[in-house]
Amino acid sequence: MELLDWITHALQVLRSNLCWMGWNLLLAWIPLGLAIALFQTRFSWQTQSPLQRGVWLLGVALFVAFLPNAPYILTDTLHLIETWGWERSHSTVVLVILPQYVLFLLAGFAAYAVSLVLLSKFLQNQGWGQWSQPIQFMLHGLSAVGVYLGRFERFNSWDLATRPRQVLVRGLHDLVMGRSLLVIVTTFLVITVLFWITAPLVERLLTSPTSAAPCESPPQSLGR
């Protein structure tokens, strides 16, 4: 009976997190979907018409706007700390809550890492490889600002379109405030270090194992 009660409680805990985790993961994977659409196509800037370039740049703007949602998931560890405080069952914490949060955090930051690796490969294919690292650092910085605005100012990505003035004013204000700037810089460093750790793994996973070896021709019959 105790085991049945524990299983029932564990399922309740899982369900209580699924709603907001699912929503945050959806937002985190939007930039990944945009990265696949924008940076894995046979797009060549030099051969595109002005209209095609404009549509592509609009997609890039959406990508940048939604990108902070991926590293934002790292700040959801605050919910883990809160849950740890009120959850009395240590077995539920170790066997249910911790694995759920680990998978959640990995899935969120993986979307960020894969998105930036796809962007880097795209820049290299376009002949703009020298801009890859500066753009990565710029996106780390913008994401850090976006994470702060989302976590502490409660802005969403679409507020850039619906409330651009408020987002800009609060963003500039936070950049000159000592405590806010410290949080943003710390977030930037965390994102940068985690990307530095995960990017090589992502690059290996995205590299086709058959691309390095040429295809062998089938053996010829000795009777012909």
Question: Residues 185-200: pLDDT tens digits?
Answer: 999 999 999 999 999 9
Range of the domain at 59: 2-206
3-state secondary structure of 197: helix
Determine, yes or no, domain membership for 219. Answer: no
**Best CA proximity match to 35, nearest among 63, 69, 68, 58:** 63
Q: Are 29 and 51 in contact (CB under 8 A)?
A: no
Q: What angle do CA 4, 2, 85 make, to 5 degrees?
A: 95
| High-pLDDT (> 70) share of the chain, % | 92
pLDDT at res. 208: 61
**pTM for the whole structure:** 0.86
Determine, yes or no, domain membership for 83. Answer: yes
| Mean pLDDT, rounded, of the chain | 88
**Best CA proximity match to 118, nearest among 188, 58, 199:** 199
Determine, yes or no, domain membership for 40. Answer: yes
Determine, yes or no, domain membership for 127. Answer: yes
- Number of structural domains the chain divides into: 1
Higher-confidence position of 104 and 221: 104
pLDDT at res. 209: 59
Determine, yes or no, domain membership for 216. Answer: no
Q: Cβ contacts of residue 100 below 8 Å, gap of 6+?
A: 14, 17, 21
Determine, yes or no, domain membership for 23. Answer: yes
The model's confidence at residue 1, banded by pLDDT at 50, 70 and 90, is: very low
Determine, yes or no, domain membership for 12. Answer: yes
Query: What's the average model confidence in pLDDT over 48-64?
Result: 93
Determine, yes or no, domain membership for 218. Answer: no
Write out pLDDT tens, residues 92-145: 888 888 999 999 999 999 999 999 999 999 999 888 999 999 999 999 999 999
